[in-house]
Structure 1
C-alpha cells in the first residue's frame, strides 16, 4: 500500500542519531544516507518497499511537524516496543504515552507514543498477544 514515508527534519545529524538506533532495533536496515542532501532511508530486509525516509523539506523552508499526524511503526513483540521507547527517550525523544496496552484499539494492542527531536509524533506498536 505504501511506497515510502518521508519525515521532515531540521537538523540532519541530530535526526539521524535519533532514528538510526530506533529503526535498527525494529529490524530495518539503512538503505542510503547523504548528509549533503540531507536525507537517509531505511527498509526492511524482507522487501524493497516501503522506505522510511528522513530529510529536509524539499522547498528549503524549515520542516514543521503536522498537527494530528503520526507515523506508527510495527514491532514484532511487546519487548521490542519497550526497547524502541527506551531508545527514543535515550536519544532525544519526548514521551507522548509510555508503553502499555491500549484496549480501546483491541485487546492485544501494545504501543508507545513519542516525538522525535523535531516534534514529529511516532508510535511503535505490537498487535500480538503476550
Structure 2
C-alpha cells in the first residue's frame, strides 16, 4: 500500500543537509534533486521526498503526524538520531531507547527535522 512520503520545507538546503546525514547514517545515499527542485531519497525500496509547497505558501508540519523509518537494530537507530541532531535536527520525546507497550518492545528515537516535521526511527526488539 505504501508508495512514498513527502514533507514540505521552507529551506531545502537545510533539509538536504539533515536528510543526507540521517539517511547516510543508515546506509543510504545523498538525496538527488529533480527538475522541480524536489529532493528524493531512495532507500530499501521506499521513496522519501522533500519539497517546497507547490502552492507557494509556507511549508507547515502536520500536527499529530509522525513519519517512521524502520531500522535494522538499535545501533542504527541511534546513529540516525545522532546524525540528525548534528545536522540541525532537534531531539524530541524521550531519549532514544526501548519502550514497552502494546506492540512489544520497540527501540525508538525521535527527531524534528529543520522544518519541524516529526520523524521516528523504529526497531522492533525480538
Q: TM-score, normalization: structure 2?
A: 0.90
Aligned to 1:70: 66
Partner of 1:125: 122
CA-to-aligned-CA distance 1:51-106 (integer Å, 9 cap, x gap) = 10011111111100010011001110100011111111111111212211110243
Over residues 29-67 of structure 1, what are the superposed CA-to-partner deviations in whole Å (9 max), with x where a residue is unaligned? 346314x732111112x53xx310011111111100010
Q: In structure 2, what is the equivalent of residue 81 of structure 1?
A: 77
Deviations 1:13-41 (A, max 9, x none): 0100000010122233346314x732111
Q: Once structures 1 and 2 are overlaid, which stretch shifts more, 105-114 or 12-21? A: 105-114
**Contact 1:30-1:43 at 8 Å conserved across structures:** no
Corresponding residue for residue 58 of structure 1: 54
Contact 1:5–1:53 (CA<8 Å) still a contact in 2? yes
- Equivalent pairs counted in the alignment come to 125
4+ runs of 1 displaced by more than 4 Å? none
Task: Tell me the residue number matched to 1:22.
Answer: 22
TM-score computed with the length of structure 1 as normaliser: 0.87
For residue 112 of structure 1, the aligned residue among 106, 109, 112 is 109
Shift of 1:108: 2.5
Find the residue that maps to 1:85 and give its secondary structure: helix
Tell me the C-alpha RMSD between the 2 structures: 1.7
Gaps of 5+ in 1: none
Distance 1:10 1:26 in 2: 25
Gap regions ≥5 residues in structure 2: none
